[in-house]
Amino acid sequence: MSFPWAKHYEPVNPFMRWMDEKLPLPRLVYGAIGAGYPVPRNLNYMWNFGVLAGFCLVLQIVTGIVLAMHYAANAGVAFASTEHIMRDVNWGWMLRYAHANGASMFFAVIYLHIFRGFFYSSYKAPREMVWLLGVVIFLLLMATGFMGYVLPWGQMSFWAAKVITGLFGAIPVIGEPIQIWLLGGYAPDNAVLNRFFSLHYLLPFVIAGVVILHIWALHIPGSSNPTGIEVKSESDTIPFHPYYTAKDGFGLGVFLLIYCGLLFFGPNLLGHPDNYVEANPLSTPAHIVPDWYFWPFYAILRSFTADFFFIPAKLMGVLAMFSAILVWFFLPWLDKGPVRSGHYRPLFRKFFWFGLIPAMAVLFYCGGAPAQEPFVMISQVATAYYFLHFLVILPIVSMIERPDPLPYSITEAVLGEDKAAVLGENATPGV
Amino acid sequence: MIRLIGILAGLFFTVAVLWGLGNGVATVIADGQLKEPTAEHEFHLPARKAGLQSDGPFGTWDLAQLQRGFQVYKEVCSSCHGLKFVAFRDMAALGYSEAEVKALAAGFQVPGIDPSTGEANTRPGLPTDYFPSPYPNAVAARAANNNAVPPDLSLMTKARHDGANYVYSLLTGYRNIDTFSVGGKKVRDEFKDFATPPNTHFNPYFANLNIAMAPPLTGAGQVTYAEGQPAPSVDQMSQDMAAFLTWTAEPKKVKRTQIGWPVLGFLLFATILAWFAKGQVWAAIKPKKAKA
């Protein structure tokens, strides 16, 4: 892994030398996120979100573990124990708000990370595995976020659990047994609260495991970059530390400012008031909505309003909702164009900025809006575009597009000239 | 091959969703309108600003007002509404002394056990007790209130959109349905069938406009505030109640914003430092003339 010019770890301190012989952990860190990892010199701030996502994961695990010390996963007392955390546990209010808003920030960062990948086609060879693992992380994250939303056992918790497990009920024949099996009963109750708590505690560690694989897979080809050109020579790269640790440090500061602004001045801004009402199976809220980070997919689910031949509308919605994410798995093979960066793909770029981004924005908005007209019709148009974009437009664009000329190398893109380019006459321009 | 299957799958989902859109459009054309206008939608009013001292990022508690709000709760609201997440000991935060908290707790009867017989009874509250519910259970609450359960008020201002303003608006928002109008349009004229069912009361700040709770604050002589406090008008009592329920819903609210400022200040300072540190680190390899 890594490039031939990557620096090797040379312990100076005798203790570190001893350590390096017995367990080369410092060597691993040095090569992964230290001076031993050469990174393209032209990464912009869109490359900050991976580190921030890692920070969020640690933040969620740390705050979550402390919250779990005070929370009681029992349908009878879960809501009261959450209030106990808010009122009586030392700094409990801050921990809970940090965890709830931390989840929102995690998803915000992840969405930016994913859309960075869309624009710069980070999923293309040789980084398909990095991308596939990333989609797995996103799915695990959604499962974890959903189960966490259920734990306070408020009205939205309860009804979200009912609606989401109800989705499995749409599967023909085996749907209902699956739903009952998932819930451990016929309606959400103690059984489901307990298993969701157990899984909500487990999955973050599974995510941490997949994150390690994600980073490992990334380190084999090395990071991509805004030009989409592969690293050609040493002058194309700089060591991760101190350059990107310094750059990410600033990004982390901006992230923390936004996060703490939310935590201390609007901790309930992204939540729903109904979740401060204790779960009541006999009273259905006027509008059942999940947390904001599920809204695009919730909008897709709800936009299938008519039976399609022999497929019931509900099943169609469930299929579409899951397919909307599963389609990401196939991106590396749907978008076969050789050029990666959107900067050099004029046609792709138009569809990205004037198609995908507005469609996602509309889906975000409509997913949080009540299921009424005109929101349903608007989200139907956006849903249609969403599927067309990934499954029809992207494959066709990648076939017919004439990309703009690429610079010879990253160095040329940054400095305006690359001495190696003059020498390397037989080097193949392009990829 | 993958691309071909992809295109087919994409067209499948697109046609299916557009089929739904087509049906929706057909319905709209047949009905001649996007959706049926309802009184709940046309005549529901957004909450009026309560204008509390605890509002906003620089808010502080107005202890005198919180005490007045508590007085209204105790003398009016507590006959139907509980406050189950608030303990008597918490009341010290409102500026009551230890002795006052003890006396205040003793003024409420809480469920207890007779030490000699073991039978359930009631006893005067202690500071460690929580505000008791006025009804032994939901069935009793329902039976006593024409089938509507009075909700617990502990979290009311967080459990409703625009909570404190909502409480204030609701308490002052009872109107006469026969004369109520918005923008010159009367409910009575616009929606002939709209009615206030028996045992409900018209209130345009309530989601479906008809609330089971009778106007709780009537003014004149209902509550007597201590000397030097404002006159207990319906508006004043409603504002005091909104303030008190803001506190019960989040006793740490003011502490939260007060801690928030130094935290943000520190982070801003650290972020500026990080910006300069980044500049210094990168200065060595900064190209003279950058080109995208």
Q: Where are the domains of chain A?
A: 1-36, 37-423
Q: What percent of chain A is modeled with pLDDT above 70?
A: 97
pLDDT in tens, A124-138: 989 999 999 999 999
The model's confidence at residue B197, banded by pLDDT at 50, 70 and 90, is confident
Task: Name the closest residue on chain A to residue B272, using Cα atoms.
Answer: A250
Q: Cβ separation of A333 and B2 shorter than 8 Å?
A: yes
Q: Which of B90, B260, B291 sits opposite A260 (nearest CB)?
A: B260
Q: Which of B6, B20, B267 sits opposite A260 (nearest CB)?
A: B267
Most B CBs within 10 A among A229, A308, A356, hence the mutation to make, goes to: A308
The model's confidence at residue A19, banded by pLDDT at 50, 70 and 90, is very high
| C-alpha distances out from residue B141 to A49, A140, B133, B159, B269, Å | 52, 43, 10, 20, 55
Q: Residue A422: what pLDDT? A: 55
Q: Residue A421: what pLDDT? A: 60
Q: Residue B37: what pLDDT? A: 81
pLDDT in tens, B47-103: 999 999 999 999 999 999 999 999 999 999 999 999 999 999 999 999 999 999 999
Average pLDDT over residues A217-227: 93
Q: Cβ separation of B271 and A256 shorter than 8 Å?
A: yes
Most B CBs within 10 A among A157, A225, A260, hence the mutation to make, goes to: A260
To the nearest whole angstrom, how far is the Cα of B129 from the nearest Cα of chain A? Answer: 14
Average pLDDT over residues B14-27: 91
Chain A CB contacts of B6 below 8 Å: 327, 330, 334, 390-392, 395
A374 preceded by cis ω (within 30°)? yes
pLDDT in tens, A237-281: 999 999 999 999 999 999 999 999 999 999 999 999 999 999 999
Side-chain-side CA neighbours of A235 within 13 Å: the count stands at 16
Q: Cβ separation of A253 and B249 shorter than 8 Å?
A: no
The model's confidence at residue A99, banded by pLDDT at 50, 70 and 90, is very high
Quote the CA–CA distance of B12 and B23 in Å, as a whole number.
17
Chain A CB contacts of B34 below 8 Å: 373-374
pLDDT in tens, A375-396: 999 999 999 999 999 999 999 9
Q: Residue B289: what pLDDT? A: 53
- Mean pLDDT of all residues belonging to chain A: 92
Average pLDDT over residues B20-30: 89
Average pLDDT over residues A173-182: 91
Is residue B288's pLDDT more than 80? no
Average pLDDT over residues A140-169: 94
pLDDT in tens, A298-333: 999 999 988 888 888 899 999 999 999 999 999 999
Task: Name the closest residue on chain B to residue A89, using Cα atoms.
Answer: B252
Q: Residue B113, SS3?
A: strand
Most A CBs within 10 A among B5, B21, B84, hence the mutation to make, goes to: B21
CB B179 within 8 A of CB B186: yes
Greatest CA separation found in chain B?
91
Q: Between B220 and B167, whose confidence is greater?
A: B167
Q: Which of A260, A277, A306 sits opposite B19 (nearest CB)?
A: A306
By mean pLDDT, which of A60-69, B19-28, B32-41, B136-145 is the weakest?
Answer: B32-41
To the nearest whole angstrom, how far is the Cα of B10 from the nearest Cα of chain A? Answer: 5
Quote the CA–CA distance of A95 and A77 in Å, as a whole number.
19
In terms of CATH architecture, what is A37-423?
Answer: Up-down Bundle (1.20)
To the nearest whole angstrom, how far is the Cα of A259 from the nearest Cα of chain B? Answer: 10
Average pLDDT over residues A2-15: 89
Q: Residue A392: what pLDDT? A: 94
Q: How many CB pairs below 8 Å do chains A and B form together? A: 176
Chain A CB contacts of B289 below 8 Å: 416
Is residue B12's pLDDT more than 70? yes
Average pLDDT over residues B120-143: 92
Average pLDDT over residues B121-148: 92
Q: Between A361 and A412, whose confidence is greater?
A: A361
Ranges of beta strands (E only) in A32-135 are 38-40
Q: What is the pTM of this model?
A: 0.93
Q: Residue B186, SS3?
A: strand
Most B CBs within 10 A among A48, A362, A373, A398, hence the mutation to make, goes to: A373
Q: Cβ separation of A265 and B275 shorter than 8 Å?
A: no
CB B85 within 8 A of CB B159: no
Q: Which of A257, A277, A334 sits opposite B3 (nearest CB)?
A: A334
User: What single DSSP character describes residue A311?
Assistant: B
Predicted complex ipTM exceeds 0.90: yes
Chain A CB contacts of B282 below 8 Å: 243, 246-247
pLDDT in tens, B236-272: 999 999 999 999 999 999 999 999 999 999 999 999 9
Q: Cβ separation of A377 and B2 shorter than 8 Å?
A: no
Q: Which of B17, B57, B292 sits opposite A383 (nearest CB)?
A: B17
CB A248 within 8 A of CB A48: yes
Q: Which residue type, as a one-letter code, is found at position A24? A: P
Q: Which helix (H) or strand (E) holds B122?
A: strand B120-124
The model's confidence at residue A420, banded by pLDDT at 50, 70 and 90, is low
Average pLDDT over residues B199-206: 91
Is residue A428's pLDDT more than 50? no
Q: Which of A250, A277, A320 sits opposite B13 (nearest CB)?
A: A320
